[in-house]
Structure 1
């Protein structure tokens, strides 16, 4: 097993086909197929299920992929730590949706201008997905609400954030969770830290939400709340940048429960020149 095999395997897993992986790696498809077959023989297990022109990663392949990504990341880190190179190569970043939409676009623009040799690869999703991505090696770093609550994660606070409760303009004033116990709410999936904060806010006031509708975007959530179909908890910075902000009332959470910080996090011991450059740039802009 060598790094080239791991790179080929990771690329096939990401692209879903030998042909697409061959194009990305500038190799012929037969070479890719041979590398995968040799790796499967060495490991004694099938890493992919073959279906016509597509490859579907197996359960064993998914387990091996997390190790392969970590090994490749460590190899790149080791190379950069001894070579004194400037930031370069692929820098995989994750971010929760609101931070990606509002906070980091100017940061990424400045980073690209300062380090054009770095290929920024940004993915967004709920905080739970971001944390899992860092632990598995899929992301070099991610913007997540902090501080880190996993022993293998480290990071720095970079943005102050406040969550606000939004309701339709004709809704009665809201001062506490008891005021809206049993109300319909809109939120992201269960692995979203903001949704857990909302549910905890209800619980601390011995109240309970009613039906929870899971949405995929803040714009969809805002539209439903504006129509009077329910309530939601969203970042104040996100609301401020949305065209429909005047269609709702925003209420802060009692006891400053809605105030939090966004951190840039990474797996402990896995810093790189790319990551160090991002941390420095954020510190300068703070």
Structure 2
């Protein structure tokens, strides 16, 4: 038995998207080709890897085992290729993101990029989106992953649901006016939260304002306020609230990649590609 890395890459794309159609878009093949490649892989290993119906895919137990092996094989394959393909590229690149995006999006991006370009210095700037946008426009940062607000273009990476969080004892929910921790003025997260509260007619007060992600989580964990954050940013140390808790639905936010004029080069393109691939995968 020999496992073709092309088939394994198609398999991983199907796992990440749970759709032959979306996987086809990712690997630039037709859905029919994707279906054929998965069938070839299943024939090679002698077992079904997916349970299929008319709308959904689900991994079989064998598929779950294959996923771990496939990702490890592809990682080693890509590391070997990159080590010999781009050994002499040097320079530096500056990338910015808010702290929750740094934690959830950037680690595999930075790892992949550093393996591909071991002689390139990567500088990471952690700041709120409202700070990063003008820095990119001024050329102080090459690329940034930000929450898109009015007047900010960039490449859409994903739409992220906003959820309410509170301490596990939910003590802040009992207070009126409702104490709410908010991000800085001008941020899109603050805008959608205030809009939702206004629509709901729930009496509230801005208990804590202009706080960083970590400070906001500390306030919530202490039971001093509730807050609404991007779903991927809500840790298990807080309660993830639902509509049953009486709080209004908050509009999703758009996460975008913005680039400076000076980033239109090979390093900028490679970093942008790594970020887009990561953002398209489940977080």
TM-score computed with the length of structure 2 as normaliser: 0.57
Residue in structure 1 matching 2:200, options 205, 222, 228: 205
- Match of 1:92? 94
Deviation per residue, 1:89-139 (Å, 9 max, x gap): 121111122101211111111111111222111111111101111111111
Q: Does 1:224 align with 2:223?
A: no
Q: Give 1:207 shift.
A: 4.8
Q: For residues 127 and 227 of structure 1, what CA distance do their matches in structure 2 show?
A: 25
**Superposed CA RMSD:** 3.2
Q: For residues 130 and 157 of structure 1, what CA distance do their matches in structure 2 show?
A: 16
CA contact (8 A) 2:89 2:117 kept: yes
- Match of 2:20? none
Q: Does 1:251 align with 2:253?
A: no
- Match of 2:190? 195
Aligned length: 190
Q: Does 1:141 align with 2:134?
A: no
CA contact (8 A) 1:199 1:209 kept: no
Tell me, what secondary structure is at the counterpart of 1:210? Answer: strand
Q: Give 1:173 shift.
A: 11
Q: For residues 175 and 90 of structure 2, what CA distance do their matches in structure 1 show?
A: 51
Comparing 183-192 with 206-215, which one deviates more in the overlay? 206-215
Q: For residues 258 and 173 of structure 1, what CA distance do their matches in structure 2 show?
A: 22
Residue correspondence of structure 1 range 98-117 to structure 2 within 5 A: 98-117=100-119
Residue correspondence of structure 1 range 1-286 to structure 2 within 5 A: 88-146=90-148, 149-150=150-151, 154-171=153-170, 182-207=177-202, 209-214=204-209, 216-240=211-235, 242=236, 244-245=237-238, 248-251=239-242, 257-267=250-260, 271-285=264-278, 286=280
Tell me, what secondary structure is at the counterpart of 2:258? Answer: strand
Q: Which runs of 5+ in 1 are unaligned?
A: 1-84
Tell me, what secondary structure is at the counterpart of 1:225? Answer: helix
Tell me, what secondary structure is at the counterpart of 2:154? Answer: strand
Q: For residues 173 and 129 of structure 1, what CA distance do their matches in structure 2 show?
A: 30
Against the structure 1 CA distance between its residues 187 and 87, is the aligned structure 2 distance closer, same or farther, given a 3 Å change threshold? Answer: farther
CA contact (8 A) 1:127 1:191 kept: no
Against the structure 1 CA distance between its residues 116 and 129, is the aligned structure 2 distance closer, same or farther, given a 3 Å change threshold? Answer: same
Deviation per residue, 1:178-213 (Å, 9 max, x gap): x98732112332243322222222233345631331
Q: For residues 216 and 173 of structure 1, what CA distance do their matches in structure 2 show?
A: 18
Tell me, what secondary structure is at the counterpart of 2:185? Answer: coil
Against the structure 1 CA distance between its residues 232 and 283, is the aligned structure 2 distance closer, same or farther, given a 3 Å change threshold? Answer: closer
Q: Give 1:160 shift.
A: 3.8
Q: For residues 248 and 220 of structure 2, what CA distance do their matches in structure 1 show?
A: 21
Comparing 136-145 with 217-226, which one deviates more in the overlay? 217-226
CA contact (8 A) 2:182 2:210 kept: yes
